[in-house]
Structure 1
Amino acid sequence: MPAARFRERYARALKIAVQLGIVATILLALGTAGFIEYSAQPGFCNNCHNMVPYYDSWATSSHNRVPCIKCHYAPGIKAEAMGKLQAANQVVKYVTGRYGTKPWAEIEDAACTRAGCHVTRALEGPTLFRGVRFDHAHHLGELRRGKQLRCTSCHSQIVQGQHVRVTESTCFLCHFKDRPPGQPLAGCVGCHPSPQRVVSP
């Protein structure tokens, strides 16, 4: 076979290979983009049976128009990419049967306070909750019993459909932990204002 004919065949084969490579790359990119979009929909989470109760809770909550990833991924491209990798890992674990029966997620405070969600002015200064003085700064700004508290440490939608509501029992988990009955973590006035009238037993 003459060298010119070989070069011509080689060039044609190379051109076809490059064209097929371009088509394959485009199809792969479109498929990846499609899967990324599909996996961002709440219905995707509902495909795994261990997620059904969490999906059902979301569907009846005040956040049922907010996609799962809006809360579960912190703002920013890097956080979203990491979230996608973790989600892909969960899918692999589910398919291979190596998943936990109770999924666990940590919601970053930045996801709660991003634009269009919860306002940060509620975090400024003390407020009263059922007669108890409360300041977010004391809970979110420093470690509490060696733990970093987050918005969801207290606001974890224990009351169905009332996402931001905090129950007293949530406060008691920390404030009366390992204490004898009637003994608060700090003195009564550490949380409660001084009585304005005589308190009788």
Structure 2
Amino acid sequence: MMEEHNDNRTAPPRFRGKWSKFGALTLLFLVIFFMVGYAGHEGSSSSKFCASCHEMKPEYYTWHNSSHSEVACVDCHTEPGAENIAKSKVNTVEQAIKKKMQTYEAPIRMPSEITDASCEKCHNVYNRNFTVTGDLIIPHDRHKDEGISCIQCHSGVAHGKIADRKMTFQADYAKWDDKTGQLAMADPKYVKPNMDTCMDCHKARKITTECSACHTTGMVPETHKEDSFASKHGLDANEDLASCNGCHQDMSDEPLTGYEEISPIDKYLKQDKKQAAKNHLNYAKENTFCIDCHEVRPESHDKQFISSHGTLAEKNQESCMACHDVKKSAHATTTPTSTSKVYCASCHPSTHSQNKKWRERHPVPISPNQKLTQTCYTCHAEPKCASCHQEGKL
């Protein structure tokens, strides 16, 4: 019979099994926690997650029809780095609470602008001399070096400035779909950089506004190259002064006012008021770009012109008004050689200017700065007064 073997090894502690189970459970919970967290992170980072909010429909459908539709929302709206990602998730929770409590602000606006760092995850501005038409060259690196942020020029690239266009009110959320988003992004003036933004920035920073600074072709329209353009451009301006002003307003050394498109509201409010609007003749005398040519004495103005100019003026007085005024007005230039310093009243003074005391004998009291109004025509003949005076002016 074999001798019984005595094992003197110590017995394992009783609590080792308990800790093993606890560790396994902890590991399991951690795995589940991180899996749920990862799934939540991935889910909340999806652009479709943004669309799940009723209030975000305008932003989602405009983004879906933009040039950035393949770029996820979080790629632009979250700055690089784990800390910024965490902040964005906290902000998402806050927004969800505000939505539930109906305390969010409308229209929805971003709490902060898109940073250059978000754009530069895809774009390298230092090798991006970009042109759309082959004519317009934008040196992005020079703008970057001057501290111009991407969003200053490209604010409408993803959403077409719909908040500024008053398209994100709560009553309109149900109307938004993919077709609405497509229509909202169809107008280039809300999506692409606007030339007015470029000009305003250049003027504020005292940078050249010459066409050649950004355009390689000089931007001369085909109609301007026609031989007949010099003789007929005034007629073209009479038909569509807004098109002329679109380019030439930025070529004037002096600011131009009164040529902006009148809003429908202003038209309605002023419909009962007769207000002399500025026209292409005023424009030719106010825009210093036009004056460069209009100051040059025409060949027709020879030595015999004085004796015949009255007959010619009667045939086409409007052509005279492109350079001259009937009387001195605010449209006159101050350059020494300006032909617009010569007025009809320079040689043909009115009876008012010959008789300085006419106001004293006027049957109705007249103030020193009295302007022409419709009341004057109660007694006076409108055609005769209007031949020299404009309503609302001295």
Length-normalised TM-score, structure 1? 0.65
Residue 107 of structure 1: SS of its match in structure 2? coil
Aligned residue for 1:63, secondary structure, equals coil
Alpha-carbon displacement from aligned partner over 1:68-126 (angstroms, at most 9, x marks no partner):
11111233444333333333333333334332221314211122122xx33422269xx
Task: Provide the secondary structure at the position in 2 that maps to 1:190.
Answer: coil
Task: Tell me the equivalent position of 1:122.
Answer: 128
The equivalent of 2:117 in structure 1 is: 110
Matches within 5 A, 1:36-47: 36-47=41-52
Residue identity matched to 1:100: E
Task: Determine whether 1:190 maps to 2:208.
Answer: yes
1:165 to 167, 192, 197: 192
Paired letter, 1:93: K
1:20 maps to 25
- Please tell me whether residue 99 in structure 1 is matched to residue 111 in structure 2: no
Counterpart AA for 2:54: H
Counterpart residue number, 1:152: 151
Instruction: Report the aligned-residue RMSD.
Output: 3.9
CA drift of 1:15 comes to 4.1
Q: Is the 8 A contact 1:140 1:150 kept in 2?
A: yes
Amino acid paired to 2:152: S
Q: What is the alpha-carbon distance in structure 2 between the residues aligned to residue 48 and residue 24 of structure 1?
A: 31
1:123-182 CA deviation, whole Å, 9 max, x = no partner?
A: 69xx9x9x9996656654456xxxxx421121122482669721234346656xxxxxxx
Pair 49,122 (structure 1): closer, same or farther in 2 beyond 3 Å: same
Structure 2: which 5+ runs fail to align? 1-12, 161-183, 213-217, 221-288, 295-394
Cα distance in 1, alignment partners of residues 42 and 146 from structure 2: 37
The CA deviation string for residues 179-198 of structure 1, in whole angstroms up to 9 with x for no partner, is xxxxx5477x72225899x8
Q: CA deviation at 1:19?
A: 2.9
- Could you tell me which residue of structure 2 aligns to residue 50 of structure 1? 55
8 A Cα contact 1:113 1:119, kept in partner:
yes
Q: 1:49 to 1:172 in 2, by over 3 A?
A: farther
> Do the aligned partners of 1:132 and 1:192 also contact (CA within 8 Å) in 2?
no
**Identity fraction in percent:** 27
| Pair 17,133 (structure 1): closer, same or farther in 2 beyond 3 Å | closer
Q: What pairs up with 1:67-82 in 2 under 5 angstroms?
A: 67-82=72-87
Q: Partners in 2 of 1:191 and 1:36 — Cα distance?
A: 48
Distance in 2, Cα, partners of 1:61 & 1:54:
11
Counterpart of 2:42 in structure 1: which amino acid?
E
Q: Is the 8 A contact 2:76 2:119 kept in 1?
A: yes
CA change 1:133–1:192 in 2 (3 A) is farther
CA separation of 1:61/1:186 partners in 2, compared to 1, >3 Å: closer, same or farther? Answer: closer
Contact 1:51–1:103 (CA<8 Å) still a contact in 2?
Answer: no
Task: Select between 65-74 and 75-84 the one with higher mean Cα deviation.
Answer: 75-84
Contact 1:123 1:135 in 2 (8 A): yes
Shift of 1:39: 0.9
Instruction: Provide the C-alpha distance between the structure 2 equivalents of 1:61 and 1:21, rounded to a whole number of angstroms.
Output: 46
Aligned length: 175
Residues 8-45 of structure 1, C-alpha deviations (whole Å, 9 max, x = no match): 4x655544443332222211110000010111110011
The whole-number CA distance in structure 2 between the counterparts of 1:63 and 1:22 is 41
Question: Bigger CA drift: 86-95 or 59-68?
Answer: 86-95
Structure 2 length as normaliser, TM-score? 0.36
Structure 2: distance between partners of 1:16 and 1:186 = 71
SS in 2 for 1:103: coil
Aligned amino acid, residue 112 of structure 1: C
